[in-house]
Chain A
Amino acid sequence: MELNKLESLLKRYDDGETSLEEEKLLKEYFHSGKVPNHLKEYKMIFNFSEEEKKIHHPGKIKLKSRRKWYAIGLAASILIAVGIFTFQENEQQNFSQNELGTIENPEEAYYKAKETLQMVAQIMNIGKQELVYLDEFNKTKNQIIKIK
């Protein structure tokens, strides 16, 4: 395209007077070849328009109303709440119905209790072993802050 024609076209483009066909011509021109330095802003604008046209909607169209899902979610959560409530109710009843003291012989009861406590103590000790690492904190802290 000759520079004269190009410039008059650009002038009309600026004034919003070009037709779609003319704008297409301009886009093609600025897309293809070298552009005079004083027109490089136009090149950017036309390139921008082309690039923007390549943006696509990322998702799929969902035609199911989300409100339905809210309703389903609400129903499900009510169901769960009711379920937990009744379950706990049963549990409590079972607990109170069970007799707690089932061992008659006092000596046997003593051993059983001792065994259980031993077990608890063992588990406690295993747990406590992990706490050794806490000492590291104190060591480091003492290096930094000296408290007499």
Chain B
Amino acid sequence: MNQKTFIGVVNPVKDKMYRLALRLLISKDSAEDATQEVLLKLWDRKNKLKDYANIEAFAMTVTKNYCLDQLKSKQNNNLKIVHTNYESQDRSAFEQLETNDRLKEISRILETLPEQQKLIFQLRDIEEYEYEEIAKVMNMNETAIRVSLSRARKTIRIELLKKDSYGIK
């Protein structure tokens, strides 16, 4: 596999990888770094890559694992703390704009979900993967995925409802 075909294969997936990384790592820079690192890893393994039947699912799995490792490692924990500090400072200002920009609300709710639910919501509702594909990426069975997804969807809606009725009731 030469560079051109590799980029051809990987190009349609890289946005999905970036979005997945962004969902987990939150910071744009970290997400970009993560995508870059994972692509390099795949490139280093390009000869084995044709053995993997579904490159997209494989790329997403590697991205997921890389990001989870990043979150576990101390290095990124520092980043994470810095970032949440920043977010919480932003919060009061944000609340004034709340009515204008409700979509960010959902991002914030998503941030509070467990990693597994974040990932599954991302893969299903945003990337529109089949359950079979999600099962491969997450290394879980489909029933467990449905349960986790259902929890995520319900939590998001309930949190939104709470925000809505805040100040009314």
The verdict on B157 contacting chain A, using a C-beta distance below 8 Å, is yes
Question: Within the assembled complex, what's the spacing in Å between the Cα atoms of A48 and B107?
Answer: 8
Residues of chain A within 8 A (CB-CB) of B125 are: 23, 45, 49
Q: How large is the interface on A (under 10, 10 to 19, 20 to 34, 35 or more residues)?
A: 20 to 34
Question: Within the assembled complex, what's the spacing in Å between the Cα atoms of A24 and B124?
Answer: 11
Residues of chain A within 8 A (CB-CB) of B102 are: 44
A residues 46-60 near B (Cβ < 8 Å) are 47-49, 51-53, 55-59
| A66 CB, min distance to chain B CBs, angstroms | 8
Q: Tell me the B residues contacting A by CB distance below 8 Å.
A: 3, 6-7, 10-11, 14-15, 17-19, 22, 28, 32, 35-36, 39-40, 43-44, 102-103, 105-107, 125-128, 130, 145-150, 153-154, 156-157, 160-161, 164
Chain A window 35-78, contacts with chain B (Cβ cutoff 8 Å), 1 for yes, 0 for no:
00000011011011101110111110111010000000000000
Of the stretches A12-20, A96-104, A111-119, A131-139, the one at the interface is: A12-20
Question: Within the assembled complex, what's the spacing in Å between the Cα atoms of A15 and B147?
Answer: 7
Q: Can you list 8 residue pairs at the A/B interface with Cβ under 8 Å?
A: A15-B146, A41-B164, A45-B157, A45-B160, A48-B103, A48-B106, A53-B126, A57-B15
Inter-chain contact B161/A52, CB cutoff 8 Å = no
When C-beta atoms are compared, the residue in chain B nearest to A47 turns out to be B103
Residues of chain A within 8 A (CB-CB) of B36 are: 59, 61-62
| A112 CB, min distance to chain B CBs, angstroms | 62
When C-beta atoms are compared, the residue in chain A nearest to B17 turns out to be A57
Inter-chain contact A44/B15, CB cutoff 8 Å = no
Residues of chain A within 8 A (CB-CB) of B19 are: 52-53, 55
Residues of chain B within 8 A (CB-CB) of A57 are: 14-15, 17-18, 32, 35
